[in-house]
Structure 1
Amino acid sequence: MTEQSPLDLWPDVQPDAARRLMAAAVESFAERGYHATTTRDIATAAGMSPAALYVHFPSKAALLFAISRTGHEKALALVRSVAQRPEPPVVRMRELVQEFVAWHARRHLVARVVQYELTALPPEEFEVVAGLRRETERVVREVITEGQSSGDFRVDDVKAAARAVLSLSIDVARWYTHSTGPDPGELARAYAGLVSRMLGAD
């Protein structure tokens, strides 16, 4: 299995050249890091001239922001969709972790850029993304709190537990590769079991 193409993450981004630049930036940032990547690197990978990049994005930072914002929006949407299911909290948490981990494994290049290049964003853009991260954590806290109330979970600090759940899942993008890593589904099930035990579920 190979990395899923990032192009289908942005079906609403037009024109197609802008989507190609975002995909090329993901590959370049993941390989070199944001600061070591030039606009020429990105444009060349997209099959364009460096000047063409500025037609669609005013700067390299604006390109990173577009990638990071949409990535966090999709992560939040995924977490919300699972959290709103009618199952008991313990089941929803297992499903949430499985889907969140699998997403970070299947799209590890995109996730690596989205999750680990935040400090390169300008302050205003950083705050937008930080707000999405806080909301994602809030949704996870709600599920854990429900589990506490129902007796499914036994944790001393709900906030710390929510951060631990998300950190464990997100960290997959840092080390995962399709050539060396386990199957994303298998990995996701293993992590869901770890989280269940961490939260004190039977």
Structure 2
Amino acid sequence: MSVDNRRSTRKAVTGDPAPREIRRRPKNRRAQIAATSAAAFGSLGYHGVSMEDIATALGISSAALYRHYPSKYALFQEELLRVGGAMTAAVRLPDDLTDAPPRTRLEHVLEALISTTIENRPTVTLVRWEGRYLEPDDLALLNAQQLTVLRALGTQVAALRPELSETDVRVLCIAILSAVTSIADHHAALPVKTIQRLLSRAAIALAAVELPPAVATELPAPVEIPDSFKHELLLRKAVELFHARGYPNVSVEEIATAAGLSAASAVYRFYRGKSDLLAAAFRRAADRVSGAVGPAVAASTDSADALDTLIRQYVAGSFAERALTFVYYTEFQHVPADERTVLRNIQRLSVEEWARLVRDVRPELSSAETRFLVHAAFAQVVDLGRAFDTDPAGSPERVCLLMRAILFGA
């Protein structure tokens, strides 16, 4: 505690006991609680954090925390909707820019949205991945806030690109919002002004993408797994259930039933538990991405060619395993801590390999800047997949082009 936040009842004199300290409550206690809880929820997920955890991180008692918030949910709900509201406020165009050129208006909206996202980076993680744990009315409000942001972006993109259809404007706006909010998916650091400049340029590059016609793409059918291959069948059924309902809401018994096992105890012949299933699926996904880099580089004529190959392979693999791609982003915090460390190391090395190729193509960028762009490109797959699923508007070919715009620039 700083000197400014303590005082004594009286001065100590020789022989007197030490003066009693009286702690004054910080004037911004609610803001401190919000920031601490956002960081905790973002790191461990809504279900992985208790009020006691938050109180301990703040250095206060649980009773003191409950004086501000009646429950963990109240804290969670207020913080998500606060940031959702801040994002909607950020994209409102000032009256004095109403008649400005379309590019100027779009740049202003982007600058405000990016600044708000940076200021609220930990909570944006919750908006992206934990909002589904809101109660129905609150989730509807959060979704309405996000729709307002997309419509505001759409107004400016449509003015800049009047030839685009309403659907294609929506595709570009989702891609832009994905790139901006992707900073919540990782912990890479850069100065604020550098992040603002980098994301703004990436967003403008996305707004300029010439989308090909939306043509339905026939995705490969999932490989049939014989009932006798319980090890593989458990993995697939677990991921499907985690995707549909969220990891905390799925039991080992339900996974066993989906895989055709008679009892939950049978699962433990193959995996140590539910989190072990999650870790095994994630390890397979991480190895797929990391293992593609070497062959792509070896078979390519230069870094640009290798990067194009990796983009196509990444999109194809992600589309083939849509559920796993989504679960990897939403449920990572439920993997055991030691396995999270392993997975993060694999991901970090993969991102660094992609970033090295981007630096070869764009030598004006720093290593840290290219890592930000790689994360923004990866986010396109999951966000466009969430928004369009099997709709041709979000086809693999289009996602590849959007990833390319981020990595290669305008």
Question: Which residue is equivalent to 2:277?
Answer: none
| Correspondence for 1:54 among 62, 66, 91 | 66
SS, match of residue 80 in structure 1: coil
Q: Which amino acid aligns with 2:188?
A: T
After superposition, give the CA deviation of every residue in 1:38-92 in whole Å (9 maximum; x if it has no partner). Answer: 1111111122111222222121111011111110111111111369723222222
Q: Within 1, Cα distance between the matches of 2:119 and 2:81?
A: 19
SS, match of residue 144 in structure 2: helix
User: Which has the larger displacement, 42-51 or 177-186?
Assistant: 177-186
SS, match of residue 157 in structure 1: helix
1:119 aligns to 2:132 (yes or no): yes
Q: Within 1, Cα distance between the matches of 2:119 and 2:152?
A: 23
- Deviation at 1:190? 2.8
Q: 1:94 to 1:145 in 2, by over 3 A?
A: same
Q: TM-score, with normalisation over the residues of structure 1?
A: 0.76
Question: Which residue is equivalent to 1:164?
Answer: 175
1:63 aligns to 2:75 (yes or no): yes
Q: Within 1, Cα distance between the matches of 2:130 and 2:61?
A: 25
Q: Within 1, Cα distance between the matches of 2:128 and 2:95?
A: 21
Matches within 5 A, 1:13-28: 16-28=28-40
User: Which has the larger displacement, 32-41 or 172-181?
Assistant: 172-181
Gaps of 5+ in 1: 1-13
Matches within 5 A, 1:23-38: 23-38=35-50
Q: Within 1, Cα distance between the matches of 2:207 and 2:168?
A: 15
Q: Is the 8 A contact 1:26 1:113 kept in 2?
A: yes
Matches within 5 A, 1:28-177: 28-81=40-93, 85-86=97-98, 87-149=100-162, 154=164, 157-177=168-188
Q: TM-score, with normalisation over the residues of structure 2?
A: 0.40
Q: Within 2, Cα distance between the matches of 1:157 and 1:120?
A: 30
- Deviation at 1:108? 2.1
Q: 1:124 to 1:19 in 2, by over 3 A?
A: same
SS, match of residue 178 in structure 1: coil
Q: Within 1, Cα distance between the matches of 2:58 and 2:208?
A: 45
Q: Is the 8 A contact 1:102 1:187 kept in 2?
A: no
Q: 1:192 to 1:159 in 2, by over 3 A?
A: closer
- Deviation at 1:182? 9.1
Moved over 4 A (4+): 153-156, 179-182
Q: 1:181 to 1:80 in 2, by over 3 A?
A: closer
Gaps of 5+ in 2: 1-25, 212-409
Q: Within 1, Cα distance between the matches of 2:90 and 2:46?
A: 26
Q: Is the 8 A contact 2:77 2:138 kept in 1?
A: yes
How many percent of aligned residue pairs carry the same amino acid? 22
Q: Is the 8 A contact 2:87 2:117 kept in 1?
A: no
Q: 1:26 to 1:97 in 2, by over 3 A?
A: same
Q: Is the 8 A contact 2:150 2:173 kept in 1?
A: yes
- Deviation at 1:179? 6.1
Aligned-pair RMSD on alpha carbons? 3.0
Q: Within 2, Cα distance between the matches of 1:102 and 1:16?
A: 22
